[in-house]
Amino acid sequence: MNKEYKRGRKVFSKKAVSGVVTTVLLILIVLASIGIVWAVISSFLKQGTQGIEGAADCFSLQLSLESAVNDSTPSTQDNIKLRVKRLAGEGNITAIKFLVDGADTSFTGVIPEVAETRTFSARIVNPEPIGKNIEIAAVVGSRTCGVSDSAVITAA
pTM for the whole thing? Answer: 0.60
Single out the residue of 127, 155, 154, 151 nearest to residue 66, CA to CA.
151
What's the domain range around 11?
3-55
pLDDT at 85: 92
* pLDDT in the model for residue 123: 81
Band of pLDDT at residue 27, cut at 50, 70 and 90: very high
The CATH number of the domain where 92 resides is what? 2.60.40.10
| Residue 108 shares a structural domain with residue 135 | yes
Q: Does 139 lie in the same domain as 98?
A: yes
Residue 95, classed as helix, strand or coil, is strand
**pLDDT tens digits along 81-90:** 899 999 877 7
Task: Give the span between the Cα atoms of 61 and 92, in whole angstroms.
Answer: 9
16 and 75 assigned to the same domain: no
Q: In what order do the strands lie in the sheet with 133-140?
A: 103-105, 93-100, 133-140, 143-152
State whether 68 and 94 are in the same domain: yes
**Residue at which a domain ends, from 19, 36, 55:** 55
150 and 107 share one domain: yes
pLDDT-derived band of residue 9, with 50, 70 and 90 as boundaries?
low
Instruction: Note whether 72 and 143 are same-domain residues.
Output: yes
> Using CA atoms, how far apart are residues 97 and 107, in angstroms rounded to an integer?
8
Pair (79, 48) in one structural domain: no
pLDDT classification of 43: cutoffs 50, 70, 90: confident
Pairing of strands 62-70, 154-155: parallel
Residue type, 92: N
- The mean predicted confidence, pLDDT, of the chain is 80
Q: Please indicate, yes or no, whether residues 66 and 130 belong to a single structural domain of this protein.
A: yes
Instruction: Provide the pLDDT for residue 49.
Output: 61
